[in-house]
Structure 1
Amino acid sequence: MKPSVANYQAAMLLSAAGDALGYRNQLWEYCESGPQIHKELAELGGLKNIQVMLPDWPVSDDTVLHLGTAEALATGKEKEDLYQELAVRYVEAMKDMEGRKPGPTSILGTSQLRPGEPDGYRIPFNPKAVGCGAAMRSMCIGLRYPRPEQLKELIKVGVESGRMTHNHPTGFLGSLASALFVAYSVQRKPLIEWGSGLLETLPKVLEYVKEVGVDVEENVSAWPYFTEKWTWYLQERGILDGKGAPRFPSDYGPEERDKIYKTFSLDGWAGRSGHDAPMIAYDALLSAGESWEELCSRSMFHGGDSDSTGVIAGCCWGVMYGLSGVPEGNYNQLEYRERAEAAAVKLYELAWGQVQ
């Protein structure tokens, strides 16, 4: 089914809203207690009363870099020209980071880019580049290449854009996962099948990495963790085969989620890594259904990297459900709203033709 341009705009807007809500101007991204965040949310009058706007609710580095990806894709460039354009946009985006808390790996990676030079979008392999900085900015790749027959293109752009800062499989496979999940959202693929679909895609991604021939030995050596952790998670939920109903703990409130999300993580900081930012977003989507409030509770208001999980979950949810049931104040005065909506229209036109 062909999506509407409104769903594309909702994806970009709710992605930014999820970022701003999870970030709360640095206060909630660095809060280690989901119950504390929920308490403060109640004191603010609940989600319906939050007006996401400057100065109290800026977007973080996540949305600034996601807009960089979207606006590069919106040029319509392909292959090497697109990779160079992405590198230009990422370097430019780093000039807009006052008060947005970019991660050290993103700062290092963009400092190593040399846009305009041959292979200037490539940086050295980094054994520590396992963070979520690539996963949080790649969702729109799924809006640009949404069809099943475009999977090869999605893989290429997901990998190459991801390793411009996070040249390590745990990092850039997060980019691939976020892009793939948004493509699945557009395709209306049943949520239950997303995780198994990701696992089926990973061997194709490894084929691509070997084919390109850059840092192959290092990538192959570091490859297994992402697959193993996702396999473990899908077994925990009872959906490794993409069938049945997901199995959640009987008690799964904010306090329990904090503990369980930590078990997803690499280092105890939930959502901070390339594998678990999309994992928490997926977990939230599986359990929230059509409720925006429930999605926010699970993906944006937890003790962990809550803006990075929120930015991914919000994008997928927006594709599937539009703005239905979302309080207008959560998105109508968002920072960079016009840029997000304009990029969404361009991506829609490139993917589906002229807007009617």
Structure 2
Amino acid sequence: MEAFQAAMLLGGVGDALGCRNARPESSAGGGRAQDELQRLGGLDHLVLSPETWPVSENTIMHMATAAALTTDYWCLDDLYREMVTRYVEILEKLPQRQADPATAQGCAQLKPHNHLLAWHTPFNERGSGFGAATKAMCIGMRYWQPARLHTLVEVSVECGRMTHNHPTGFLGSLCTALFASYAAQGKPLARWGRDMLRSVPLAEEYCRRSIRHLAEYQEHWFYFEAKWQFYLEERHISEDTGNEAVFPEHYDAEERDKTYKKWSSEGRGGRRGHDAPMIAYDALLGAGDSWTELCERAMFHGGESGATGCIAGCLFGLLHGRDAVPAGLYGALEQRVQLEQLGAALYRLSTEEK
């Protein structure tokens, strides 16, 4: 249970650190961001309070997904209606937190009062953003057991395309949900990327069965897979599950920023559904059990560090707990109590027989 609580909590911490209070420096390079952190005294002396280091819509939407997953739903359709209701309620609170435009647009198209079509949104050419990925780790926590794989695939796809109805967007939610399930299972980290790609056909099969937007999906489907194949080859993670990731000999903040931009589709690392989980995964591979190193790689770079930080922090919590994390980072964190309660509820429900 402690790992699940740490996952929800550290996802919020990673989000708050990555967003850095929406300061202009958040779009600067990773080196500059890390220099500013040192001027503040470093991670050991930092206190994340709601007033100065609030969480963003990444955490708020993740909490909404987790809250829906912990209700007493009778079937998945009921779960989806609950998600829709919670997302729409949150929409009114997002503007003051500078909501991601794709997330706001997706929420605006949901229909909570339409019993049959509540979560059926139109295909969105601009729905490829990171917002689907940052709200889906808890799905993998709820359905982490291997026997629940097909449920995980269906729920993560539907959850993702509620707000980001584009393959690059909702495959991001599938990716982070799978990564969370792998962490809970204790699967070796180096296997995650390859095993995730092996599950992508299950998502395609589900979309075919649900008969929605197949023509629009077809044109964009393979982009996500191609980007991930390129990444795994660059890190020399082959089909041989024993391979460990290989990093460049010189890989400082400046080089990471260049690499993250290269993986991106628009020159801002972590902006899309494929590269936000990719950067978080890369950071986990490079950081090992070091929280400080993870923050440098995932929370303090020149891209969409709030999104990558949220994903990386959550997965780190599942893998390593919170013992290595300075207490000041989570002791007064916004929504701390609710995040820990949701983590406990997800653990309890995921281990119960239904």
State the TM-score, normalizing by the size of structure 1: 0.96
Partners of 1:54 and 1:315 lie apart in 2 by 19
Trace 1:204-215 onto structure 2 (pairs within 5 A).
Answer: 204-215=202-213
Correspondence for 1:66: 62
The alpha carbon displacement at 1:76 in A equals 3.3
Other-structure match for 1:337: 336
CA distance in 2, matches of 1:60, 1:140: 17
- Give, in whole Å, the separation in 1 of the partners of 2:131 and 2:24: 18
Whether contact under 8 Å (1:29, 1:306) holds in the other structure is no
Q: How does 1:142-291 map to 2 (within 5 A)?
A: 142-241=140-239, 242-291=241-290
Distance of 2:232 and 2:207 partners within structure 1? 25
**Equivalent residue in structure 1 for 2:128, among 108, 127, 130:** 130
Corresponding residue number in structure 2 for 1:11: 7
Alignment partner, residue 101 of structure 1: 98
For the residue of structure 1 that corresponds to 2:137, the secondary structure is coil
Distance across 2 between alignment mates of 1:231 and 1:76: 39
Deviation at 1:98, TM superposition (A): 4.5
Extract unaligned runs of 5+ from structure 2.
none
Query: Secondary structure in 1 aligned to 2:237?
Result: coil
Whether contact under 8 Å (2:25, 2:33) holds in the other structure is no
Q: How many residues align?
A: 350
Percentage of pairs with the same residue: 47
Bigger shift: residues 298-307 or 120-129: 120-129
Q: Whole-Å Cα distance in 1 between the matches of residues 158 and 124 of structure 2?
A: 14
- Of stretches 170-179 and 29-38 in structure 1, the one that deviates more from structure 2 is 29-38
Identify the residue that residue 89 of structure 1 maps to in structure 2.
Answer: 86
Matched, 1:42 2:38: yes
Distance in 1, matches of 2:113 and 2:95, equals: 26
Richer in helix (by share): 2
Q: Secondary structure at the residue paired with 1:12?
A: helix
CA shift, 1:29, in A, is: 7.5
Give the C-alpha shift of residue 329 in structure 1: 0.4
Contact 2:253/2:301 (CA < 8 Å) preserved in 1?
yes
Deviation at 1:32, TM superposition (A): 2.7
Distance 1:200 1:292, change over 3 A: same
Q: Are the equivalent residues in 2 in contact too, given 1:23–1:29 (CA < 8 A)?
A: no
Runs of 4 or more consecutive aligned structure 1 residues displaced over 3 Å after TM superposition? none
CA distance in 2, matches of 1:224, 1:248: 26
**In structure 2, do the counterparts of structure 1 residues 29 and 66 end up closer, same or farther at CA, with 3 Å as the change threshold?**
farther
More off after superposition, 295-304 vs 75-84: 75-84
TM-score w.r.t. the length of structure 2 is 0.97
Q: What RMSD, in angstroms, separates the aligned Cα atoms of the two structures?
A: 1.2
